[in-house]
Amino acid sequence: MERTFVMVKPDGVQRRLVGEIIRRFENRGLRLVGMKLLQPSRELAEKHYAVHLGKSFYEDLVNFVTSGPVVAMAWEGDNVISLVRKMMGALKPEEASSGTIRGDYTADIQKNLIHGSDGPDTAKYEIDLWFSKSELLVSLEQ
C-alpha cells in the first residue's frame, strides 16, 4: 500500500472538473485519504516546485499554480503512484492518450489540469508539504 499526492490545478477547478477527476480515481478503487481546497501561497508553490528552480518555465509555473484555488489530495492504494500517473496521461497534450485525464480534457502544456507525484520520495515530500498528519486518514494497513 502506498500513497501519492495529487493536485487539481487552477484550470481544473475553474473548469469544474474536480468531481470527474475524483470519480475516475475512486472508480479504479483508490482510497482518498486527504483533501482540501485552497489558494496556494507563493511560498508553498515555490517549495512544491523547488526541483524546477532555475528552469525557464519555473516562474510561469509558480504564477499559474497560485493564480486560483487548487484541490490538494492524498490517495492510497497498491501501486497508486504509477497508476495515477498513467491515468493523468502525458504532459504534452499531443502525446496524451484519449481516456486519460489530460487526453480527454487538455490542449495546453501549462494548463494541464493535474499534478501527481512522480515517485515515492516525491510523494512523501509533497504530502508532508501540503498536509499535516491530522489532516490525513489512517492507512487501511495500520
Strand, coil or helix: what is 13? helix
Cell 499559474, located at residue:
64
Q: Which of 9, 48, 102, 115 is catalytic?
A: 115
Three cell numbers written together for 59: 516562474
Q: Is 52 a catalytic residue?
A: no
**Sheet containing strand 2-8, strands side by side:** 31-38, 70-77, 2-8, 114-116
Cell 480527454, located at residue:
104
- Amino acid type, 101: I
Instruction: Give bridge partners of residue 75 from the DSSP assignment.
Output: 4, 32
Reported in sequence order, the residue ranges of 20-117 that DSSP labels E, i.e. its strands, are 31-38, 70-77, 114-116
* Catalytic residue annotation: 115
